[in-house]
Every structure is written in structure tokens, then in C-alpha cells.
Structure 1
């Protein structure tokens, strides 16, 4: 079987997760890394036994690689992705897909026009507790969904924000408690609960005065199926908590976190809380394996560009509602544009 050859752009804190996952897959090869910091790129290449090292990512794209993993700041994804697509490379982007509608739509369109795959990393979808909760809701085990709530309360230290100059800045981070940290939980919320139709929200920078973006956010969501949802997000809650999703049906409740089942009860069904072992990986391995299979079998990745766009759409609606004080109707906000001809926004 043909080896699927990967290159990584960006040798920062997320790149090792990609590298380890690629090297665990027998049909994948980690062939190259690119980073403008030569010393960082060379150290990363040494640590993961990578033969080709570049400070110019466009030079890396001339190599016979099949997939590029984007591990660069969130607001830079599109500028790299468009060039990768033009060079015929499949793309696996870290979350979020990007931080603006224009950039996300440019990425999606560029990949479609070039005939390459675009996938995104939302590895919490692969965790057994969230998978089991979605399956039970879909099967009607707790009746029809009435409410779904995402609790996304984390802690980020001064050292975290100091580790990279773009952190906490609107230009490249695109947001804080929601866009950077909470995006995984918001992806789970819409993946499990279904289409969100409107948002009313409040955000603030309540405890950290050294960042531009929000450290606290709360939102009420209406779903297409009539249910109501809430989001509570923060980056200044100590001690931080696990990502938690609570689903209230008209016949029961499911509440799960990254590592455990907290509530698993139904009035009408004999629901036994699943005894699910925690995986021995963080989910990147499943995402990488899926990308390899998508290329070999010529299908869409597990989490396509259009699918990854949904969580960012909700977050941008939260920011718009907080800015204006109005409810935001998503269908009227920023529908996907299949013919964007403007350049990447900065």
C-alpha cells in the first residue's frame, strides 16, 4: 500500500501531537517540517527523526508530500492553506479552521477547486463518552432533546500567554475563552445537538487586563429542533474544569466530561452508564488515521472544512451578539460563499 507522506508547518506546541500520531500509523510517513525559526525546526526534526527541514514552507511544498498539517496560529491558517491547495496538497488544519468567514470560505473553496481534501482537528469527537452520549441521544434513549449545555471553564496562566506573542490578540488568536479554548466544546455542542439557528450572548475580559480577547463568555442558543442550549466559557477559572456537556431530554439526562460519565439516567429506559476505558491517546491518532484513509479511499475526512466551519460560525455569532446586544440569526449572519474572490484577511 502506498505511504501517505505528511509535512508539518509550524513546530510549536501542537506539532508533536501530529508527529506522534503520524509515526504511529504504518501507512503514513512524516517526511518534512517547516518553521520560520530554523533552530526550532531543526530541533523538532531531530526529536522526530524527520529528514527534510525548511524555513520556507513554499520550498517544502515542492517536495513529494501528500498532506500538510497546519500547526500555525489560528489566524494564519488560510494564508497557508490556499497555497498548499494550489500546490495539490491535502490539508489537515488544527482548530479553529480560521478566525474569519472570509478566510474559512477561501480555504474551503481553494481545496474544492484544487480537488484536495480539507480536514480539521476536533479530537474530542473521538472520546468514547461524547460518542456514546451522541449515540444515545440520536437513538431516543432520553426522548427528545430539550436543553443542551456546554461548560467550558479553563485556566490559562501568565506563562501561557507569554509563550507566544499572538496569544490573547484578536489579530491572530481571533478570540479567547471561546475561539481558542472553548471551540472544542462548541463543536461538540452542535455535533451532538444539531443545527443552531440563533444566539444571544455576553462576553467580557473580567480578570485579565493583559489580553485583548474575552476571558469570560455566556450564551443562549436556539436549535433547529426547538431545543435551547447554553455555553459558559472562561479561561480564568481556577482550578480549571474538564469540558462537560449536559443533555436534558424529556425522558432523561446525560452528562459527560472528557474522562467520565456524571449523569446517565432515563425514566423509560433501563440505561446503564457505560464503562468506557479512556483511550491511550488524545484523539489526534484517530484524526490522522482517518485522514490517511480518506486519501486512500478518496472520501471526505471525518471532520471536513464545512463541518469545522460550524463551530466558528457560532463563536463569531456570539461575539457579534455581545458587541451589538442583539440576538443573531445564523442564517442571516454569514452564509457560506462559494465564490469568494478577495484575498486572505489579516
Structure 2
């Protein structure tokens, strides 16, 4: 009825971010579950740890059980501070001071979609019959899909 669960419908974009930052996956642990929609065959909650070949570790958690839409928050910890993507903005926090580095100029689309949906859809239609290169290649798209498929194949849905 829903077309897919949390990972494939909502979280794939966050997993795109993590894969872009971390690179090739070394291992995946954690699990997916049905906390609210127990009668459906899909997950509504996930807690996943990704370890990358370069030593970077990432932790992802997400749920469809919120009472209202909330934007994603992605935080990257670095030696001299941390970067956060939240509410369509990129922040740098150094020594307790936060400053905005970049804003996502979304236009007239839903806030949680971000600007890339509009760019990708336009790129797809422009490429039909014009031999133009897609905004995001198929090989890049398949990387995040493989991560999600690997999580599903673990069989940890409870």
C-alpha cells in the first residue's frame, strides 16, 4: 500500500549523503523494525551503523512514527568542529559558535525534498531523446540502493 518502507522511500537520500561522505562500505550492522505499522510488510524504523573502508563510521537512525514531518539532520564530526545539514542549510559549528555556510534555494517544492529532486527530474526529461548526461548517473544511484538492499537482505525486520 505504501510502495516501500522508510529506507527506500524516505531515507535513501540520507544514505546517499552518507555514502558520498564515507565511500565504499566495509560493514553494516543494526536493524530495521516495525514499531507502529505492525500489520504492514515494511519497516517504519531503522538504526544502522555503517563502517567504511577508509575508517569512517556513520550511524543512521530514522522513523516514520513521528507525529509531524521533520527535516533530516546530518552531522559530520571533524577534528576542528562539525558540519550539520539541517532545514536546507549547511552549518559549521566551531568552539560552540554556529554559522551558516550555505542555504538550499528550493523554490516552490516541499521543504523535505530539497533542491535536488527538481534538478534530477528536469535532468531526466532533458536527457530523453537529447543524449544529455543525467544529473546523477545510474552507477552512482545504484550505490545507495545496494546499501539498502544489503540491509533488507540481513533479514532483521522485526
Q: TM-score range by the shorter chain?
A: 0.7 to 0.9
SS in 2 for 1:323: coil
Structure 1 residue 277, shift from structure 2 partner:
5.7
The equivalent residue for 2:112 is none
Larger Rg: 1
Cα RMSD, aligned residues only:
2.8
Whole-angstrom distance in 2 between the partners of 1:312 and 1:239? 26
Whole-angstrom distance in 2 between the partners of 1:277 and 1:316? 29
Q: Determine which of 11, 19, 23 is the counterpart of 1:190.
A: 19
Looking at secondary structure, tell me which structure has more helix per residue.
Answer: 1
The equivalent residue for 1:280 is 107
Q: What is the number of equivalent residue pairs in this alignment? A: 149
User: Does 1:236 find its partner at 2:69?
Assistant: no
The equivalent residue for 2:30 is 201
- The answer as to whether partners of 1:294 and 1:301 remain within 8 angstroms in 2 is no
Deviations 1:295-330 (A, max 9, x none): 64x453121221111111111212233539xxxxxx
SS in 1 for 2:100: coil
The equivalent residue for 2:93 is 265
SS in 1 for 2:59: strand
Compared CA separation, residues 258 and 202, structure 1 to 2 (3 A): same
Q: Determine which of 119, 139, 143 is the counterpart of 1:310.
A: 143
Unmatched 5+ stretches in structure 2: 110-114
SS in 2 for 1:312: helix
SS in 1 for 2:66: coil
- The answer as to whether partners of 1:201 and 1:218 remain within 8 angstroms in 2 is yes
Looking at secondary structure, tell me which structure has more strand per residue.
Answer: 2
- The answer as to whether partners of 2:6 and 2:45 remain within 8 angstroms in 1 is yes
SS in 2 for 1:186: helix
Structure 1 residue 216, shift from structure 2 partner:
1.1
**Scaled by the length of structure 2, what TM-score is found?**
0.77
User: Does 1:219 find its partner at 2:48?
Assistant: yes
Structure 1 residue 294, shift from structure 2 partner:
8.5
- The answer as to whether partners of 1:217 and 1:233 remain within 8 angstroms in 2 is yes
Structure 1 residue 248, shift from structure 2 partner:
0.9
Whole-angstrom distance in 1 between the partners of 2:75 and 2:133? 29
- The answer as to whether partners of 2:33 and 2:156 remain within 8 angstroms in 1 is no
Whole-angstrom distance in 1 between the partners of 2:118 and 2:37? 34
